[in-house]
């Protein structure tokens, strides 16, 4: 049975897209690629070189010059993938608080987005990849076999983020989380370079009222439906045979 080789998953913050993407990659034995890791890698490299994060021209040149690779986990330390910059494993370095504070402006620079889009396409070229982000189906992989756009209500996403922050030892209010979610939505959907929006062919996937188990079952059915549909098309075009 034919399986999709490239799966693009997009959606706003805390919609569940990363959870679904990682689950699918595990089930299919595909590479999981959260594209935010590439923006973090460039940000980490800029900080290492002492570049001014507000210097868009310098950060763009850096993004154009470095090679970033995303590979299957190289170490069994809880990572979902390995991020290498120039051959150096920086998987955990890009999760530092310093990178957290600096990555947002870097991800808005059009030149950086263009340079990293080319790197994402290079990584995805061999296929067997589940790529998660905010412009995968529209910009990075417009020819992806399956495009899924994951949504959830702002209130539900704020609740999820609140649980995450509480587990990390923070104690923000629900109102603060809801404000942050709505502000992030506005920034992502109104930016000039690759705004957040579903591709025309995207399958809308609403996770608002779903448990993780229900999300997993539903997204697996989507992939299986593609496989069955692809097999039927192959048979009708002469790709199959009957004895």
* pLDDT score at 123: 97
Helices 36-48 + 110-124 axis angle, to 10: 120
Three-class SS state of 7: strand
pTM above 0.85?
Answer: yes
Q: What was the pLDDT predicted at 169?
A: 85
CB contact set of 192 (below 8 Å; sequence gap of 6+): 110
C-beta separation of 149 from 205 below 8 A? yes
List the chain pLDDT tens, one digit each, 243 residues.
Answer: 588 999 999 999 999 999 999 999 999 999 999 999 999 999 999 999 999 999 999 999 999 999 999 999 999 999 999 999 999 999 999 999 899 889 989 998 999 999 999 999 999 999 999 999 999 999 999 999 999 999 999 999 999 999 988 887 887 899 999 999 998 898 888 888 888 999 999 999 999 999 999 999 999 998 888 876 665 665 565 554 433
Check residue 167 and give its pLDDT.
85
Which domains are seen in the chain, by residue range?
8-15+135-220 (3.40.50.300), 31-126 (3.40.50.300)
What is residue 102's three-state secondary structure? Answer: helix
CA 55 – CA 97 distance, rounded (Å): 20
């Amino acid at each position: 049975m034919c399986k999709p080789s490239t799966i693009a998953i997009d959606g706003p913050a805390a919609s569940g897209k990363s959870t679904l993407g990682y689950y699918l990659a595990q089930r299919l034995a595909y590479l999981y690629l959260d594209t935010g890791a590439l923006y973090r890698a460039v940000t980490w490299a800029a900080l290492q070189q002492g570049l001014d994060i507000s210097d868009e021209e310098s950060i763009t040149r850096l993004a154009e010059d470095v090679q970033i690779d995303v590979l299957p986990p190289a170490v069994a330390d809880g990572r979902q993938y390995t991020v290498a910059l120039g051959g150096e494993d920086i998987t955990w370095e890009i999760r530092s608080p310093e990178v957290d504070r600096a990555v947002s402006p870097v991800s808005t620079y059009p030149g950086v987005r263009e340079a990293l889009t080319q790197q994402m396409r290079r990584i995805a070229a061999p296929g067997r990849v589940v790529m998660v982000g905010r412009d995968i189906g529209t910009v990075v992989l417009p020819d992806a076999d399956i495009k899924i756009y994951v949504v959830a209500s702002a209130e539900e996403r704020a609740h999820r983020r609140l649980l995450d922050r509480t587990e990390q030892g923070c104690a923000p209010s629900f109102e603060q989380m809801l404000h942050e979610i709505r502000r992030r939505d506005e920034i992502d959907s109104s930016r000039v370079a690759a705004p957040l929006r579903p591709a025309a062919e995207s399958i809308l996937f609403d996770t608002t009222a779903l448990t993780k188990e229900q999300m997993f079952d539903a997204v697996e059915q989507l992939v299986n439906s593609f496989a069955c549909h692809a097999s039927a098309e192959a048979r009708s075009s002469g790709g199959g045979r009957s004895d």
